[in-house]
Structure 1
Amino acid sequence: MKPLFSWLSPAGASGRLSVLIFHRVLREPDPLFPEEVDATRFDELLGWVKSWFNVLPMDEAARRLQDGSLPARAAALTFDDGYTDNHDVALPLLQRHGLPCSFFVATGFLNGGRMWNDTLIEAVRRSTLPMLDLRGLRDAQGADLGQHGLSNRRALLQALIPRVKYLVPEQRQVCVDAIAARAESVLPDDLMMSSGQVRALRAAGMQIGAHTVSHPILATLSPQQAADEMARSRDMLQSLLGERVGLFAYPNGRPGTDYLPDVHPGLVRELGFDAAVSTRWAAARQGEDVFQIPRFTPWDRSRSKFALRLAKNLLS
């Protein structure tokens, strides 16, 4: 595949940058979310990427994208949110393959916090109730959890998550807390990294970027609220690491839906960041807005299909 990627992504001003995005790397496959990346799959994927691409740190990739000096087959690896398994599972595999990676951390969940979606997921996963009464919550009714079947729980989460996602942060938290209370579930407090684990990632040579404090949908906030989320996340990380943080990732990251391209990239620039990444599927070219660098990761499990989808993304 190397010749194909070299042709699609040459060196210099015609170069294209492929940025891969991940969130979690589980030790073992999750029966509730079988599509989630686990350690075996991530290890295999890193081997493919290392053999095909020149993987750069994200800050260097952004600079070289701007000045037209990308190497052939340029790529960068990124993680969003700040899960504990980024440190415990992903980091050793990245070190084994000798690959750099950038981790974008939502700082409000460090040290025992839990993201809203994980409160929802774990409440449904861990509930021992046969039925979950959701009347009065986001137009939902009762849900049959079943005693052993995962399909009902998976279907319920697929219905609930989109309904809750675009609430403003305060309403969103109230809603998921209410669902968790009705589920009568004991929820975990070790899903997200500690401050020490973030420092350990940096000490291992990985990069740390800001990802807001509470992971809000920026499009639902005022510009002042959005700028505050960005700045407080950056400032907390700079205090934690004792160094400047120049990278930012938009929560959820879809332009026009999760952030506003005519508002939020300008805020990121005004706050002094060097570059920002979205989740628009594409490969970046010179001349594109460095504060809206696209990202994409194929979901295919076979080597050939994974490579072909990456090639297709380079053509987008």
Structure 2
Amino acid sequence: MSTALPVLMYHGLHAGPDSRGRFDPVYSVHPDAFTAQLDWLLRNGYRSIGASARTATADGRRVAITFDDGDVSNLEVALPLLRERGMVATFFITSGFVDQPGMLSSAQVALLADAGMEIGAHGRSHAFLEDLDDAALAAELRDSRTRLSALTGRAVESMALPGGRGSERERRAARALGYTHLFGSVPGPNRNPDRDRWLQRIAVTRGMALEEFASLVAWRGPRPRLSRMRFEALSWPKRVLGNAGYERLRARLLKAAP
């Protein structure tokens, strides 16, 4: 029996830049592609679970579907497609983005929870936690959990670190404030998910072919290695420029792209 747990990381689901929500040329997955990916998971025997559930299945084929930030398409596009297939997902919501244009409203966050979806935290402001001093870090973690719990009437146990960036200091602070399941963004298969409290995720990007998606979920073939190499290559400019500098460079490059 396989014990690996692929954790998929999505953001918004947008047909194009004019779709409702906040379109990103890298991370906005087309709804048709998302539909095909869900159907592939079902055809291949995967059962979706909440990010903090870790529920065992007969053949060990589990998958956690997660969304970051709180784009309005999470409710308007993702939720109907998930419910049609009897699937669940975890929505890591940046609490300070709630009620902003293109993002989930307070009522919509509650609707996701009432629909059986898991609500996790993604910080208060999406600040990179490793850039904060101890007091600001605690406030970022505490305020996000408090607001999301108030909106849903449920305890918030899971958190995805913004940008996947953080080390033991940030993880220790999150656990001290009540988070029990923490997620980064280094591509990986999570081979011991029932024991580990720090799991990694597979980013699903716009234009990703279904063949590549399947290879990453199963963590077989050359694509997982290429995915890890790409992640490591991008980590260098982050170290050299710092998080703020890297984000400014990324914004300029995306703006200049055709």
Q: TM-score, normalised by structure 2?
A: 0.76
Contact 1:107 1:237 in 2 (8 A): yes
2:237 alignment partner in structure 1: none
Q: Which residue of 1 aligns with 2:79?
A: 91
Instruction: Give yes or no for the alignment of 1:102 onto 2:66.
Output: no
Q: How much does 1:34 deviate?
A: 7.2
The whole-number CA distance in structure 2 between the counterparts of 1:35 and 1:270 is 31
CA contact (8 A) 2:123 2:162 kept: yes
Structure 1 portions without partners, runs of 5+: 1-9, 113-189
1:103 aligns to what SS in structure 2?
strand
Mapped contact 1:281–1:313 kept (Cα < 8 A)? no
Where 1:264 maps in the other structure, the secondary structure is helix
2:23 maps to 1:30: no
Q: Is the counterpart of residue 285 in structure 1 residue 196 in structure 2?
A: no
Closer/same/farther in 2, CA of residues 310 and 287 from structure 1, 3 Å limit: closer
Cα–Cα, structure 1 residues 221 and 289, in superposed 2: closer, same or farther, change >3 Å? Answer: farther
Map residues 200-215 of structure 1 onto 2, 5 A cutoff: 200-215=111-126
Distance 2:7 2:193 in 1: 16
For the Cα contact (< 8 Å) 2:47–2:87, is it kept in 1? no
For 2:219 and 2:121, how far apart are their aligned partners in 1?
29
**SS of residue paired to 2:198:** coil
Paired residues, what number? 216
Shift of 1:29: 2.7
Corresponding residue SS for 1:248: strand
Is 1:55 the counterpart of 2:48 in the alignment?
Answer: yes
1:49 to 1:297, Cα distance in 2 relative to 1, 3 A: farther
Equivalent position to 1:259, from 166, 190, 193: 166
Q: Compared with structure 1, are the counterparts of its residues 78 and 292 closer, same or farther at alpha carbon in structure 2 (3 Å cutoff)?
A: same
Aligned to 1:181: none
Return the alpha-carbon distance in structure 1 between the equivalents of residues 17 and 69 of structure 2.
19
Aligned residues of 1:223 and 1:264 also touching (Cα < 8 A): no
Counterpart of 1:222 in structure 2: which amino acid? D
Tell me how far 1:71 sits from its aligned partner: 4.8
Report the alpha carbon displacement of residue 70 of structure 1 after superposing the two structures with TM: 8.3
**1:281/1:236 CA distance change after superposition, 3 Å:** same
Greater Rg over alpha carbons, structure = 1
Task: Kindly indicate whether residue 202 of structure 2 is the aligned counterpart of residue 296 of structure 1.
Answer: yes
CA separation of 1:108 and 1:298: change in aligned 2, threshold 3 A: closer
Gaps of 5+ in 2: 19-23, 226-258
Distance 2:68 2:220 in 1: 20
**Pairwise CA RMSD:** 2.5
Q: What secondary structure, in the 3-state scheme, does the structure 2 residue paired with 1:238 have?
A: helix
Q: Distance in 2 between matches of 1:91 and 1:72?
A: 25
The equivalent residue for 1:42 is 34
What SS does the corresponding residue of 1:60 show, helix, strand or coil? coil
CA distance in 2, matches of 1:273, 1:313: 31
Whether the aligned pair in 2 keeps the contact of 1:283 and 1:313 (CA below 8 Å) is no
Question: Which residue of 1 is the match for residue 110 of structure 2?
Answer: 199
User: Secondary structure, in 3 states, of the residue corresponding to 1:42?
Assistant: helix
* Correspondences of 1:123-272 after superposition (within 5 Å): 190-253=101-164, 258-260=165-167, 262-272=168-178
**Distance in 1 separating the partners of 2:172 and 2:58:** 25
The residue type equivalent to 2:118 in the other structure is: Q
For residues 217 and 35 of structure 1, the distance between their equivalents in structure 2, rounded to whole angstroms, comes to 18
Q: Distance in 1 between matches of 2:47 and 2:187?
A: 20
TM-score, structure 1 normalization: 0.63
